[in-house]
C-alpha cells in the first residue's frame, strides 16, 4: 500500500504558484512571506507594504487558533465537543456558525452532495490519520447510518450575539471540506485589519487574495494539472477573490492496484466515481468556495453545471477524464489555457 504525502503535494502546488506570482516591486513596496503548517497543510502567507509583518502575524494567529479549535482529536476543540455532545447543545463561535450554515445551504441545494456528518466514514478509510484501509460494505452502512446533517439545529441568541448547535446522538462531523476556506477568509480579514492592502494566502488547494497586486494589476493564479501536479493547465487572472480546488490527486492511496481518493460520495461512503479529475471554484467568499468545490465534484460534470446555472454567484473550472477544461462564461476573459494536452470550452 502506498499514499502520496500531503506535504509533497502542497509543496508542488506552492512551486506552481510561485512560478506565476510576481516579484515584489523595488522601493517602498516590500514583500514579506511566511510558511505555516496547520490543518495538515503547508500554508504560504504573503503580504506587501510597511504593515506586512503585522499582517502576517495576525493571519498566522488566526489560522493557528482555528487549527486548534477545529481539531477533532483535541478535547478542548469545538469539533470534539460537538462529536461528544450525545445530542446536546454546544456553544459555538460566529465563524463556526458561518461554516455550518454555509455548508448546510450547499448540502440542501446540492441534494446532499456535501455532508459534514460523514466523519465516521472518513475515519474508516483513514483519510484523517493516514492509516489507510478499504472498508467492507457492512462497515460503511453502519457509518452512514450515523449521518445527521439534515437534523442539525442551529440556534442564535441575538441579545448576546452567541450561537449553539445540536446534532442527533451518535452523529460526528468534520470541517475538512470547509475549514481551510474559512481560515483563508479570516486570514485575509486579519491582514486587512492590520493595515495590509495587498496580499495572498495559499492554504493547500485554497488560494485567496487581498486587493490587487502592489502595482494595481490582477493576480495570476495557476490551476494545477491533475495529470502532472508539478505543472499547471492554465492561469486565471483575478482581483480580490478566493480560488479553491478539489481534485482526486490531492489525497489518495493505492491498494492492490486500485486507487482510492478522499472525495467521498455521502450516499455510498466510497470515493466518488465520475468523469471529473478536479473542480476549481472562484468566488469572493472563501468559505462558500471551499464548500462548493467538494459539492460540485461529487455532483459530477452535468449536475455541477446545472447547479451553477440555477444558483450562480461563482465561477467554475472543471477538468474531466477526457482532458477537457470546462469554464463558466464569467472566465472567458480571465482564464488562459497554457497546456496543449488539454482542450478548452466555455458553458453558459
**H/E segment holding residue 154:** strand 153-157
Q: Tell me the pLDDT band of 1, cut-offs 50, 70 and 90.
A: very low
Q: Are 191 and 275 in contact (CB under 8 A)?
A: no
Q: What are phi and psi of 125, to 5 degrees?
A: -75, -20
Q: C-alpha distances in angstroms, 267 versus 78, 101, 113, 194, 290? A: 26, 21, 8, 44, 20
Q: Tell me the pLDDT band of 2, cut-offs 50, 70 and 90.
A: very low
List all residues 6 or more positions away from 75 whose beta carbon is below 8 Å from its beta carbon: none
Please state the domain extents for the chain.
2-69+178-347, 71-166
pLDDT at position 204: 84
Q: C-alpha distances in angstroms, 219 versus 89, 212, 215? A: 43, 7, 10
Q: C-alpha distances in angstroms, 19 versus 14, 53, 61, 223, 263? A: 9, 23, 27, 12, 28
How far is it, in rounded angstroms, from Cα 72 to Cα 58? 24
Q: Is pLDDT at 5 greater than 50 in this prediction?
A: no
Read off the C-alpha cell for 38. Answer: 496547520
Please name which of 265, 286, 10 lies closest in space to residue 118, comparing C-alpha atoms. 265
Read off the C-alpha cell for 79. Answer: 469539533
Q: C-alpha distances in angstroms, 285 versus 14, 208, 295, 305? A: 22, 9, 15, 19
The domain made up of 71-166 has a fold known as: T-fold (1.10.3980)
How far is it, in rounded angstroms, from Cα 196 to Cα 270? 43
When the pLDDT of each residue in the chain is averaged and rounded to a whole number, the result is 91
Q: Could you report the per-residue pLDDT of 166-205, keeping only the tens digit for each?
A: 999 999 999 999 999 999 999 999 999 999 999 999 998 8
* β-pair partners for 337: 234
How far is it, in rounded angstroms, from Cα 101 to Cα 86? 21
pLDDT at position 20: 41
How far is it, in rounded angstroms, from Cα 302 to Cα 149? 25
pLDDT at position 123: 96
Apex 106 CA angle, 7 and 154, nearest 5: 100
Q: Are 97 and 154 in contact (CB under 8 A)?
A: yes
Q: Is pLDDT at 33 greater than 50 in this prediction?
A: yes
% of the chain residues with pLDDT over 70 = 92
pLDDT at position 205: 84
Q: Could you report the per-residue pLDDT of 132-165, keeping only the tens digit for each?
A: 999 999 999 999 999 999 999 999 998 888 999 9
Q: Tell me the pLDDT band of 256, cut-offs 50, 70 and 90.
A: very high
Q: Are 66 and 93 in contact (CB under 8 A)?
A: no
Q: Is residue 124 packed enough to be buried (19+ CB in 10 Å), middle (13-18) or exposed (0-12)?
A: buried
pLDDT at position 347: 97
List all residues 6 or more positions away from 169 whose beta carbon is below 8 Å from its beta carbon: 86, 87
Read off the C-alpha cell for 215. Answer: 502595482
| Whole-structure pTM value | 0.91
Q: What CATH number does the domain located at 2-69+178-347 have?
A: 3.10.520.10
Q: Is pLDDT at 18 greater than 60 in this prediction?
A: no
Q: Is pLDDT at 19 greater than 50 in this prediction?
A: no
Q: Could you report the per-residue pLDDT of 215-246, keeping only the tens digit for each?
A: 999 999 999 999 998 899 999 999 999 999 99
Q: Is residue 134 packed enough to be buried (19+ CB in 10 Å), middle (13-18) or exposed (0-12)?
A: middle
Read off the C-alpha cell for 100. Answer: 455550518
Amino acid at each position: 500500500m502506498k499514499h502520496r504525502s500531503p506535504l509533497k503535494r502542497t509543496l508542488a502546488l506552492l512551486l506552481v504558484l510561485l512560478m506565476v506570482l510576481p516579484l515584489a516591486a523595488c522601493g517602498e513596496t516590500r514583500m514579506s512571506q511566511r510558511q505555516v503548517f496547520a490543518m495538515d497543510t503547508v500554508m504560504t502567507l504573503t503580504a506587501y507594504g510597511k504593515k506586512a509583518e503585522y499582517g502576517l502575524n495576525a493571519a498566522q494567529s488566526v489560522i493557528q487558533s482555528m487549527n486548534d479549535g477545529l481539531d477533532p482529536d483535541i478535547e478542548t476543540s469545538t469539533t470534539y465537543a460537538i462529536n461528544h455532545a450525545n445530542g446536546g447543545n454546544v456553544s459555538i463561535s460566529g465563524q463556526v456558525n458561518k461554516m455550518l450554515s454555509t455548508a448546510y445551504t450547499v448540502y440542501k441545494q446540492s441534494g446532499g452532495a456535501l455532508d459534514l456528518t460523514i466523519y465516521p466514514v472518513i475515519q474508516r478509510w483513514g483519510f484523517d490519520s493516514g492509516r489507510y484501509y478499504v472498508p467492507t460494505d457492512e462497515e460503511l452502512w453502519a457509518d452512514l447510518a450515523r449521518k445527521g446533517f439534515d437534523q442539525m439545529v442551529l440556534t442564535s441568541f441575538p441579545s448576546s450575539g452567541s450561537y449553539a448547535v445540536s446534532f442527533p446522538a451518535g452523529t460526528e462531523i468534520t470541517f475538512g471540506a470547509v475549514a481551510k476556506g474559512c481560515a483563508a477568509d479570516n486570514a485575509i480579514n486579519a491582514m486587512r485589519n492590520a493595515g495590509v492592502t495587498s496580499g495572498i494566502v495559499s492554504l493547500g488547494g485554497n488560494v485567496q487574495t487581498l486587493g490587487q497586486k502592489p502595482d494595481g494589476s490582477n493576480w495570476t493564479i495557476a490551476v494545477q494539472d491533475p495529470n502532472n501536479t508539478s505543472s499547471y493547465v492554465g492561469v486565471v487572472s483575478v482581483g480580490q477573490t478566493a480560488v479553491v480546488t478539489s481534485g482526486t490527486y490531492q489525497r489518495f492511496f493505492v491498494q492492490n492496484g486500485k486507487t482510492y481518493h478522499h472525495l467521498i460520495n455521502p450516499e455510498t461512503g466510497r470515493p466518488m466515481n465520475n468523469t471529473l479529475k478536479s473542480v476549481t471554484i472562484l468566488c469572493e467568499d472563501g468559505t462558500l468556495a471551499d464548500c462548493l468545490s467538494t459539492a460540485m465534484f461529487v455532483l459530477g460534470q452535468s449536475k455541477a453545471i446545472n447547479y451553477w446555472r440555477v444558483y450562480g454567484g461563482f465561477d467554475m473550472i472543471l477538468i474531466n477524464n477526457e482532458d477537457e477544461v470546462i469554464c463558466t462564461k464569467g472566465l472567458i476573459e480571465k482564464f488562459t489555457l497554457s497546456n496543449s494536452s488539454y482542450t478548452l470550452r466555455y458553458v453558459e
